[in-house]
Amino acid sequence: MTFEFIAKGGILVIPILACSVLVLAIFFERIVRFSLMRARGAGLADRVVGLLKSGDADAAARTAEKSNSPMGRVLRKAMEYTDQDREVLETVVNHATEEEVRHLSRYLQALATIGNIAPLLGLLGTVIGMIKAFMVIQDMGGKVNASVLAGGIWEAMLTTALGLAVALPAMVIHSYLISRVDRYEARIQEGAVAFLAALAGRK
């Protein structure tokens, strides 16, 4: 019954439903990936900094590399340039951090795009449905049947409702994931600062 109800919205229901599936896929993929990264990177900066302070740079590099986390990759990249001056090292750290943030933000632009186009698809479906409804009125020669007219209008409005039903969660999910990315970026920067401070203390 529900499928038949949705199907009355017309052909544009298909891309709107496809958008909803894509939103859910992106959401669960990002949540799983973020959870894994959080587990792998937990306390990593402190461990690496501790090893650096103890003078075991090789162990620090191995620990960062084995973590397979954004924090670990940034620190590992920075360790390759520890023999350079401070300005070069900071540039390397900033570039590595930006690269990791780009990876963390993967697919998020798609969510924003879906949030923008889903209502437009719904509106387009409504316009097409209204055109069909008025064509029926014309074919009836002006003898409007209220039930036929009402049926055509609600079927036309259905796509707008579906479009909004997809767009609203998409925008909420997009904002939530962006906030998660911002928090990860802040943690990476904090770890990088601690690393640079520990490195300066060794010199």
pLDDT at 52: 79
Question: How far is Cα 137 from Cα 180, in angstroms, rounded to an integer?
Answer: 52
Q: Which two tokens stand for residue 33?
A: 């990936």
Total domains in the fold of the chain? 1
pLDDT at 148: 62
Residue 51: alpha-carbon gap to chain centroid: 35
- The pTM is what? 0.81
Output helix, strand, coil percentages for the chain, rounded to the nearest 5.
85, 0, 15
Are residues 126 and 156 in contact, defined by beta-carbon separation less than 8 angstroms? yes
Question: How many CA atoms lie less than 13 Å away from 150 in the CB half-sphere?
Answer: 3
Are residues 67 and 40 in contact, defined by beta-carbon separation less than 8 angstroms? yes
Q: Which two tokens stand for residue 115?
A: 């949030």
pLDDT at 141: 67
pLDDT at 29: 94
Q: List the chain pLDDT tens, one digit each, 203 residues.
A: 456 656 666 788 889 999 999 999 999 999 998 888 877 777 888 888 888 778 777 888 888 888 888 888 888 888 888 777 888 888 888 999 999 999 999 899 999 999 999 999 999 988 888 887 777 777 776 666 666 666 667 777 888 899 999 999 999 999 999 999 999 988 888 888 888 887 776 55
Structural domain of 85: 2-202
Helices (H) and strands (E) in the chain, counts: 8, 0
Question: How far is Cα 53 from Cα 66, in angstroms, rounded to an integer?
Answer: 19
- CB atoms near residue 32 (< 10 Å): 10
pLDDT at 1: 42
Question: How far is Cα 194 from Cα 49, in angstroms, rounded to an integer?
Answer: 7
Are residues 26 and 111 in contact, defined by beta-carbon separation less than 8 angstroms? yes
| 103: amino acid identity, one letter | H
